[in-house]
């Protein structure tokens, strides 16, 4: 995918701005919009714990607020995970809200190769896409 390295580096830079004083687990995300614009987000924790919002959902909220219509790809990066970090279940559903089934989800950690996977494999039988076809 073109722009992949750029997207990963934006997610990695964003992770340094994470607000994660409770878990100490910093996450950055970068969304590539259909028009080529990149929007970033970070996890923002809260002392109530339950109000914490993940980096992916923050990046998507940022993108939508700025006028994004559709996600081409999203990269997720944590400097605090050696292994590639996949999005949580809630974030998978929110990604599908704004993406075609073939949108790329690029999972990255501090070591090793990024894992790239279409959102339809991370979130199959999606009510917004797959189930509409039947
Ligand atoms: N987190 C994310 O931001 N994205 C993920 O994909 C996994 C988890 C955040 C939530 C919380 O602030 C911290 O990582 C530990 O779970």
User: Which atom number of ligand 1 is nearest to the Cα of residue 22?
Assistant: 12
Cα dihedral 84/90/91/92 (nearest 10): 80
Query: pLDDT > 90: what percent of the chain?
Result: 90
User: How many angstroms is it from 111 CA to the middle of ligand 1?
Assistant: 18
Q: Which residues have a Cβ under 8 Å from the Cβ of 64 and sit 6 or more positions away? A: 98
pLDDT at 132 over 70: no
Centroid of ligand 1 to alpha carbon of 2 (angstroms): 26
Q: 55-65 and 89-97 are packed helices; what angle lies between their axes, rounded to 10 degrees?
A: 20
**Residue 134 confidence (pLDDT) above 70:** no
pTM reported for the whole predicted model: 0.95
Residue pair 56/44 in contact by the 8 Å Cβ criterion: no
* DSSP structural state of residue 88: P
Instruction: Kindly report, residue by residue over 34-63, the tens digit of the pLDDT.
Output: 999 999 999 999 999 999 999 999 999 999
Domain boundary assignment for the chain: 4-133
Kindly state if the Cβ of 128 falls inside 6 Å of ligand 1: no
Active site residue 56: yes
Architecture of domain 4-133: 3-Layer(aba) Sandwich (3.40)
């Amino acid at each position: 995918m073109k722009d992949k390295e750029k997207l990963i580096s934006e997610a990695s830079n964003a992770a340094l701005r994470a607000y994660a004083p409770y878990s100490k687990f910093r996450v950055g995300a970068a969304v590539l919009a259909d028009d080529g614009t990149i929007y970033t987000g970070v996890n923002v924790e809260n002392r109530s714990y339950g109000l914490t919002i993940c980096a992916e959902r923050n990046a998507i909220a940022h993108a939508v607020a700025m006028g994004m219509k559709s996600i081409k790809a999203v990269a997720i990066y944590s400097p605090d995970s050696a292994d590639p970090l996949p999005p949580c279940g809630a974030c998978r559903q929110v990604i599908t809200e704004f993406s075609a089934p073939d949108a790329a989800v690029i999972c990255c950690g501090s070591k090793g190769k990024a894992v790239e996977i279409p959102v339809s494999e991370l979130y199959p039988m999606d009510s917004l896409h797959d189930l509409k076809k039947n």
